[in-house]
Structure 1
Amino acid sequence: MFRWLNCRNIFFMHTRQTFTKAEKLCNKQLIEKLFTKGKSFFHYPFKVVYYVVGATDPYSGNYPVKVLFTVSKRHFKKAVDRNRIKRLVREGYRKNKARLYDELNETDVKLVIGIIYTGRGLPTYCETEKKIITIIHRLTVELKKT
């Protein structure tokens, strides 16, 4: 189901905005490769680590991206705060991932991403969504380079 929306004279393709379990990064081997062989960049308050999956890697699923969200226990002692930040980041990613998916479907590349919150305070949803949009844009630019 596709629907074209006109938002400030920019056309966006509206797809299902879901985040399923299959899109969540759970495989320990992939997580280890992500942090050992992956490339990274920093966009305050996030550190983004990404790894283009090779043919021999244990990647399963129909989705072009698997994502891992983390928040430091050192900076946020209460699980309530960590979970809130992860929920905000996950929501921002869920609503804006279509641009990244469109780019990856054109190139037939599979990607593993780790988004690490490194800030000290609790963010608002608006801040988080703006940062996630710029992170997704930067990821597409980085992927075009390779």
Structure 2
Amino acid sequence: MKKYTFSKEERLCSKRLIDDLFHNGSSFVVYPFRLMYRNTSETLPSKAQAIISVSKRRFKHAVTRNRLKRLLRECYRLEKPFFYDNLSDYSLHLLLAIQYIGKEELPFVELHAKMKILLEKLSHELASSNLGKRD
């Protein structure tokens, strides 16, 4: 049975790890998302820790930003078990930053489809890069 959760242990909260991710991480774009990722040598409580952000510059109202973040967390929560299945082949501890870079608010169905594509692309990137070395 798959666990469709997004617990505290899976959220990226450490200021030091966030700085490390944004200074030394790799990134790519699957519109309307930008994903920054980094393999860390530290042992994390889960396979990946994620942070989700929506730009204040693009969405002035906190209500809109909070709604988008809630939708993105839900999309990630639903796709995470399949992503973790792909990660299970590797002994990786990933830091992820999912940024919403779209100019308008998209419907949930579209966001969910794009999140699925985003995490599949990340799995392919990890498999093809030296990060994805098998132990």
TM-score (norm: length of structure 2): 0.92
Specify the alignment match of 1:79 in structure 2. Answer: 62
Cα distance in 2, alignment partners of residues 46 and 103 from structure 1:
20
What whole-Å deviation, never above 9, does each CA across 1:57-106 have from its counterpart, x for those lacking one?
Answer: 4x431x10100000000111111100110111110110011121112222
The answer on 1:42 being equivalent to 2:26 is no
Q: 1:60 aligns with which of 44, 47, 54?
A: 44
The answer on 1:18 being equivalent to 2:5 is yes
Report SS of the residue matched to 1:107: coil
More helix by share: 2
More strand by share: 1
Cα distance in 2, alignment partners of residues 94 and 108 from structure 1:
21
When the two chains are superposed, the root-mean-square deviation of aligned CA atoms in Å is: 1.0
Specify the alignment match of 2:102 in structure 1. Answer: 119
Q: Which blocks of at least 5 consecutive residues in structure 1 are unaligned? A: 3-14
Contact between 2:44 and 2:93, CA under 8 Å: does it hold in 1?
no
Cα distance in 2, alignment partners of residues 64 and 89 from structure 1:
19
Q: 1 or 2 for the larger relative contact order (CA 8 Å, sep ≥6)? A: 2
Cα distance in 2, alignment partners of residues 144 and 43 from structure 1:
18
The answer on 1:33 being equivalent to 2:33 is no
Cα distance in 2, alignment partners of residues 90 and 133 from structure 1:
13
Aligned residues between the structures: 129
Larger C-alpha radius of gyration, 1 or 2? 1
* Offset, 1:40: 0.2
* Offset, 1:16: 1.8
Cα distance in 1, alignment partners of residues 35 and 55 from structure 2:
14
Q: Which blocks of at least 5 consecutive residues in structure 2 are unaligned? A: 130-135
Residue 90 of structure 2 aligns to which amino acid in structure 1? T
TM-score (norm: length of structure 1): 0.85
